[in-house]
Amino acid sequence: MTQFFEAVATNSLILYALLAGLAASVVGGIIGSYVVVKRIAFISGSISHSVLAGIGFFLWLERTKNIAFASPLQGALLAGVASAILIGWIHLKYRQREDAVIAAVWSVGMAIGILFISQTPGYNVELTNFLVGNLLWVSPKDLLFLCILDVAVVITCYLLHHPLVAICFDEDQARLQGLKVHRLYLLLLSLIAVTVVLLMQVVGIILVMTMLTLPATIANLYTNKLSRMMGISILLSMAFCLIGMMVSFHFDLPAGATIALVAGVTYALSLIRAHASRSS
């Protein structure tokens, strides 16, 4: 443990990685609680995989057209928000089943990304980092961008917490209260997209659903109050990031996968404990 904190103090790459993980944990805990309460966890899976379209396109622009400002992280954000709005709009406009829309956006987004990646020259180590996560890849510019997204999501949730809670629990009642349910629903999906981009830096596209849903699900085992659930979820996410990074540092393991594994083991132990408590 001492070696890890010494490394944090002396190595800027590890410091940036830890700060990125903690920043993502705040948003992940808040938005993940909305996701769990509203039971739309698989939407995060669709959004997280559809961001590959933006990553692939912006990598293609950067390497073949020499467009320096075309950052894959920005491409992921644009593709994530676009897919989130598309899922919500199709669901609301055409009354299609969400699971069918999710499958369509998931597959098409990945297909577009793969097509652009196939036309992008060079070894795509950057793409691998987005897929499986690599906290040590976080640059000061990326950290600033992530912190701006983090603050924007926190402020939005603070200002619109009660309306978002209303649509999560009962859309019909929220509509009777005069709330713009459709706009709030699209906003919630957009916030999920931003959170996916934040968590993607920590655990990668493949494991985003783990960090978005497991901390909130574990917190829900111990409380039914949403605000308390968010607080517990944030603390759990931070603990998972810290413990996962420490384990990966000492055993030379991939940080993202280790963090997700720590979250999964904690969830399994929490379920066993909850079951034992009910049995007794």
Q: How far is CA 222 from CA 36, 261, 263, in A?
A: 14, 21, 16
pLDDT at 33: 95
Q: For residue 121, what pLDDT is reported? A: 80
Distance of CA 210 to the CA centre of its chain: 9
Q: How far apart are CA 54 and CA 47, in angstroms?
A: 11
Tell me the CATH number for domain 2-279.
1.10.3470.10
**pLDDT surpassing 70 at residue 233:** yes
Asked if pLDDT for residue 214 goes beyond 70, the answer is yes
Banded pLDDT at 82 (limits 50, 70, 90): very high
Average confidence (pLDDT) over 220-239: 94
pLDDT level of residue 39 (50, 70, 90 thresholds): confident
Q: What is the mean pLDDT of residues 21-27?
A: 91
Q: What pLDDT is stored for residue 162 in this prediction?
A: 94
Residue 175, classified by CB atoms within 10 Å of its CB into exposed (0-12), middle (13-18) or buried (19+), is middle
The per-residue pLDDT for 238 is 95
Averaged pLDDT score across all residues of the chain: 87
Task: Report, as an integer, the average pLDDT of 12-19.
Answer: 87
| Per-residue confidence (pLDDT) for residue 268, from 0 to 100 | 94
Per-residue model confidence (pLDDT) at position 43: 80
The 10s digit of each residue's pLDDT in 138-190 is: 778 878 888 898 899 999 999 999 999 999 998 888 999 899 999 999 999 99
Calculate mean pLDDT across residues 40-47: 82
- Look up the pTM and report it: 0.89
Q: Where are the domains of the chain?
A: 2-279
What gap in Å lies between CA 237 and CA 240, rounded to an integer? 5
Stronger pLDDT, 126 or 55, i.e. the higher one = 55
Q: What percent of the chain has pLDDT over 90?
A: 40
Return the higher-pLDDT residue of 236 and 135: 236
DSSP for 35-67 reads HHHHT-HHHHHHHHHHHHHHHHHHHHHHHHS--
CA–CA distance from 196 to each of 1, 64, 206 (Å)? 29, 27, 11
Structure confidence at residue 123 (pLDDT): 58
**C-alpha R_g of the chain:** 19
Q: How far is CA 18 from CA 11, 136, 200, 267, in A?
A: 11, 9, 14, 22
Mean pLDDT computed over 44-62: 87
| Residue-wise pLDDT tens digits, 95-142 | 666 677 788 888 899 899 889 888 888 656 666 777 777 776 777 887
Work out the average pLDDT over 45-69: 85
The rounded distance, in Å, linking the Cα atoms of 75 and 71 is: 6
